[in-house]
Amino acid sequence: MPVAARRMLALWFPHLGAERHLRRGGIDGPLATVAERGAARRLAAVSAAAEAAGLRPGMALADARAICPGLHTRPADPPAEAAFLAALARWAGRFSPFVGCDPPDGLVLDITGVA
């Protein structure tokens, strides 16, 4: 089938880095992963609850704590997040003959003939 006739679905998981920790349980409330960027500690990913509190990736950790004092943090771990995305891709393979990772937080699925 020509590429033009294919139907592709792009999935974006904007909270992937934080969701990886939330799925393990034990965290109640806003969560962010933190990365060292130069001399600064910045939010790498935020949960939906942290986003609702006004936090965004790239924000300085000190600013985030001022906005949301109850913020839970975990260190960012890009290799573990890539492995989590790969696990999601394997799961999505049950529904599509082609699943590709679009790092750091996306998947692309061929859904031709699924509709």
Is 56:45 a contact under the CB 8 Å cutoff?
no
If you classify domain 3-110 with CATH, what class do you get? alpha beta
The CB density around residue 75, as the number of other CB atoms within 10 Å, is: 11
54-72 pLDDT, tens per residue? 999 999 999 999 999 999 9
Locus of tokens 């004092």: 69
What percentage of the chain carries pLDDT values higher than 70? Answer: 96
In what side-by-side order are the strands of the sheet with 99-102?
8-12, 106-110, 99-102
Q: Nearest-CA neighbor of 85 among 25, 9, 17?
A: 17
- What's this model's pTM, rounded to 2 decimal places? 0.83
85-96 pLDDT, tens per residue? 999 999 999 989
The H or E element spanning position 12 is: strand 8-12
* Residue boundaries of the structural domains of the chain: 3-110
Is 15:46 a contact under the CB 8 Å cutoff?
yes
In what side-by-side order are the strands of the sheet with 31-37?
40-46, 31-37, 72-75
What percentage of the chain carries pLDDT values higher than 90? Answer: 81
